[in-house]
Structure 1
């Protein structure tokens, strides 16, 4: 069965954010389709249904989204928030949508999620011939920390920071860090 214009739009946006659960705004709900719907039903303990064409569907009310986001982040998922970027009443055809925010453990500013007694570090690591650059940012407090360590001091530096998320180059060697820490892979720096 052919995709509807809405599902084509969803798939185009999802293709740009394949490693995130896509919260796709439809009126007063964030809807998730396909694999994201299956994951949402399991992680959030919400009902999995399907559209008339058999496409898996799960949704959460926009007003309750913060609680569901906390659950996704605590379960180690990243979430891309896709909003309607034009007034549906003025739209000709399908409403334009775009991802306006990507939420990850290191970039989640919800006060109930971020423990007040510890930093919520987003840490970037860059290996060079002169050592390993470690940059840490806590978006909730504005604190920034930067240092260069020897390769054999990297595990201690990461352990001391206890980051919520690590940003590393795709081609980087594995990091000596807890494998449960979310890793965001990016193209290497020059």
Structure 2
């Protein structure tokens, strides 16, 4: 139940970030809701489609959809009356990324996927919705820029798999992966860490 609550928290945070992107892009109310929904459940939807999991998680359980609607409404109301707490949103986004990445890895692991596929599915779950959000907002996706985002998810999933290989109980491995993702992302934000880029000569 606790993990389910945290999962809904991640849905709400990602929905809020999608709603903010829609508002910044000047979309109407429906457009904002659509962008919030894609950001919140896009990664998990792509994961379920690729793994052949049916029905897709938000069809099987509609609570995430209600969470998206509530988070979008709260975000729209908030920006009309109060400044957006960007620092708090970044922290919440890091926690949402950690939750989705490791839980997505668990889903792939339970489906019998090999470790590399588990890493890919977990990373897709954590960052796929943000990629779709950025593409629909006519931006270069965050994970293709210098920001340490998807790489934080990869690091955390790697820790999770290593702990599982060392026979650490699932809860302990999940906690280790979660902390790694969140700490890596928050450190990148706090210290403005970036991945190196390649520049062609001339």
For the aligned pair, the TM-score class normalised by the smaller chain equals: under 0.3
More strand by share: 1
Which structure's residues are more often helix, by fraction? 2
Larger Rg: 1
Give the structure-2-normalised TM-score.
0.24
TM-score for both structures, normalised by structure 1: 0.25
